[in-house]
Amino acid sequence: MCGIVGYIGKEKSLPFLINGLKALEYRGYDSAGIAIFSHDKVQVKRKAGQVKVLENALKNDTDLIGHLGIGHTRWATHGMPNETNAHPHNDCMGRIFVVHNGIIENYKELKEYLQHRGHIFHSDTDTEVVPHLIEDFLRSNGDFNVALFDALKMIRGAYAFAIIDVKNPDTLYAVSFSSPLVIGVGADENFLASDPSALVGKSKNVIYIKDGEIAEITRSKIDIINLEQKKTPPEIVRLEWNLEQAQKGNYPHFMLKEIFEGPKIVFSALQGRLKSGKNLVKLGGLEQVNEKLKEAKRLIILACGTSYHAGLVGEYLFEEIAKLPTEVHFASEFRYREEPFEEGTVVIAISQSGETADTLAAIRKTKKHGLLTLGIVNTVGSTIARETDAGVYNHAGPEIGVASTKAFISQLTMLVLMAVYMSESNGHQLHHALLQELEKIPEKIKAILDKASEIEMLSEKYKDCENFLFLGRRYNYPVAFEGALKLKEISYIHAEGYGAGEMKHGPIAMISEKFPTMAIVPQNSVSEKMFSNLEEIKARKGPIFAIATEGDKEIVSLANDIFFVPKTIESLEPLLTIVPLQLFAYYVGTKRGFDVDKPRNLAKSVTVE
Ligand code: AGP
């Protein structure tokens, strides 16, 4: 994934370009570059490495005073991460400068075609075909807009472009197709970015460029042109985030800050959504589809990564609370299935960024079959939020750490509310006790966070392990997967999540003194079975780190190390048991000396397939 920024306006463009790229670095950070229109020409500066390498290289550069600029931080998809392949890329004449986020699937044939027509290439990227293609059309038609449209018709793939044309220095061009771009509307200035986190503190009024649209942005005007080459009125969306939310505060890392936001996340997700009286849950975003929800016969949950693990918890919630048969699929696999959809199937897409390409593709597939699609999305105005028929926002604020933590907690909370909401839509029992317990979860998460130092101390003991098995059952089965993913992502330790019942069907062969198990074993309906699993591991000298319920005595004789969490209703346990696992991954990763906010090879929002 890559990050794009652009600026045109009353100020010099460089400060926003650099600060905007820093805010987007979690999307990709193997090289960075900028292009600024100054003194009647475009100055390009590119560097391998993180944005700060580029920033240091520009410290004493007095040329970069222009008010029109574009910038890019890269996560390589084609071509090594180096200065030559860093964006921006330009045409032969040095007139067209482009930064790109996405993948151009037919770039090889376009490159051969353009080389055949005399264009000279310098990089191994797919992006470089774009300025040359526009240049090629300009040869036959001097109008930039026409040449741009003609070039876009030849490009296949997912792309967001920011473009400078030397002959049109009062305009910043932006194009989006299956890759996000958002405009921050300012006073005598306008901003462009791949996502709103770069706009925080700059503008609260944003315009999402929709698929196939071109934006022509001057310092005082924004024209949106659609696929039919007609101007369409820009839709301004109010951005809820503030600068403080998008900054680390006094935490050493965004990841730790976002783990500690857990109590507030649950609390804010409940605000305005819990009522007394007949119906207990109000979800405004679903009211428009209420009648269709009453006819729901089956649910399909589509997501990736951490959001997929939240969906696995949702499967238990919807079946137990809303009595709806539910299946959960990796969106990246579902998109290839030929599933016969039955009447009354409702699709739920879960996505923090709202831009995950696999999830978007899977939703589009179900929409072709006429299914009702709902979204649980954190980023307001994002593509998935706009393309689903209805849905709810997490309102969890920007999640900057690449590893998803607070968004997962928020997704679980929304799934509980949605399950109760759909239970009521289907005339089932009310869930007073469940919702009353849900309102106590913020204080219970805080009680866990108050003991974070216990996890930090225990992480010292396990930080050099090379393998880890995570085991859970029922509601904690998805927590085992999510805990393993966190440890993998942040510490690069090989960690596997498994249903505890499956351990005897293979994984137990791995157990040894050097292969520890993280057992999620709160006191609940499956505790006895979990204890049997732990006996089997203990008999083979496997070290056990247990997440258990306060007051549980039996676990003491089974586990080498124990972290106690407060007692709660079984269906709400994941909201508590995941928190020590998030902390464990964070402390192990920091003790192993890794950048926990920007783990190697990862991107926050995977908007490529
Ligand atoms: C989570 O820690 C990962 N960064 C990743 O698995 C993420 O959950 C996945 O890419 C889905 O992202 P989304 O929620 O924005 O769709």
The pLDDT tens digits for 501-546 are 999 999 999 999 999 999 999 999 999 999 999 999 999 999 999 9
Q: Is 604 among the catalytic positions?
A: yes
d(CA 353, CA 378): 6
pLDDT score for 245: 66
Is the CB of residue 177 less than 8 Å from the CB of residue 209? no
State the sign of the Cα–Cα–Cα–Cα dihedral 13, 15, 19, 25. positive
Mean pLDDT, to the nearest integer, of 226-244? 84
Side chain identity, residue 79: G
Task: Please report which residue ranges of 102-232 form alpha helices under DSSP H.
Answer: 107-116, 129-140, 144-154
Are domains 248-439 and 448-593 of this chain identical in fold? yes
Residue ranges covered by each domain of the chain: 3-238, 248-439, 448-593
pLDDT score for 246: 66
Q: Which of 3.40.50.1950, 3.30.750.24, 3.30.60.50, 3.40.50.10490 is the CATH number of 248-439?
A: 3.40.50.10490
Mean pLDDT, to the nearest integer, of 180-207? 93
Is the CB of residue 383 less than 8 Å from the CB of residue 351? no
Mean pLDDT, to the nearest integer, of 75-89? 82
Q: Is 305 in the pocket of ligand 1 (CB under 6 A)?
A: yes
Convert the pLDDT of each residue in 117-158 to its tens digit: 999 999 999 999 999 999 999 998 889 999 999 999 999 888
Is the CB of residue 115 less than 8 Å from the CB of residue 121? yes
Find the radius of gyration of the CA atoms of the chain: 25
Convert the pLDDT of each residue in 99-112 to its tens digit: 999 888 899 999 99
Measure CA 341 to chain center.
28
Convert the pLDDT of each residue in 254-263 to its tens digit: 999 999 999 9
CA of 256 to the centre of ligand 1 (A): 17
> Of 353, 377, 414, 607, which is best to mutate to test ligand 1, by the most ligand atoms within 8 angstroms of its C-beta?
353
CA of 604 to the centre of ligand 1 (A): 7
CATH class of the structural domain 448-593: alpha beta
d(CA 214, CA 161): 9
d(CA 305, CA 564): 27
CA of 153 to the centre of ligand 1 (A): 31
Q: Is 382 in the pocket of ligand 1 (CB under 6 A)?
A: no
Pick from 175, 80, 172, 84: nearest CA to 133: 175
Burial of 533 (0-12, 13-18, 19+ CB in 10 A): buried
pTM of structure:
0.76
Q: Is 294 among the catalytic positions?
A: no
pLDDT above 90 for 165: yes
pLDDT score for 242: 74
Mean pLDDT, to the nearest integer, of 161-185? 95
Higher pLDDT: 417 or 61? It is: 417
CATH architecture of the domain with range 3-238:
4-Layer Sandwich (3.60)
Convert the pLDDT of each residue in 347-405 to its tens digit: 999 999 999 999 999 999 999 999 999 999 998 778 899 899 999 988 888 788 999 99
pLDDT above 90 for 593: yes
Residue nearest to atom 6 of ligand 1 (CA): 305
CA of 130 to the centre of ligand 1 (A): 29
Measure CA 272 to chain center.
25
Is the CB of residue 148 less than 8 Å from the CB of residue 173? yes
605 CA closest ligand 1 atom index? 15
pLDDT above 90 for 424: no
Residues 6+ apart with CB under 8 A from 280: 274, 420, 424, 430, 431, 432, 435
Q: Is 261 in the pocket of ligand 1 (CB under 6 A)?
A: no
402 CA closest ligand 1 atom index? 4
Pick from 543, 588, 538, 537: nearest CA to 561: 543
Residue nearest to atom 7 of ligand 1 (CA): 305
Q: How many CA atoms within 13 Å lie on the side-chain side of 181?
A: 37
Convert the pLDDT of each residue in 311-332 to its tens digit: 999 999 999 999 999 999 999 9
Residues 6+ apart with CB under 8 A from 110: 104, 129, 133, 154, 155
Of all residues in the chain, the percent with pLDDT exceeding 70 is 97
pLDDT above 90 for 464: yes
Convert the pLDDT of each residue in 9-53 to its tens digit: 999 999 999 999 998 876 666 889 999 999 889 999 999 888 899
DSSP states of 58-116 as a string? HTT--S---SEEEEEEE--SSS-SSTTTSSPEE-TTS-EEEEEEEEETTHHHHHHHHHH
| From 88-92, 177-181, 471-475, the region with the lowest mean pLDDT | 177-181
Q: Is 517 in the pocket of ligand 1 (CB under 6 A)?
A: no
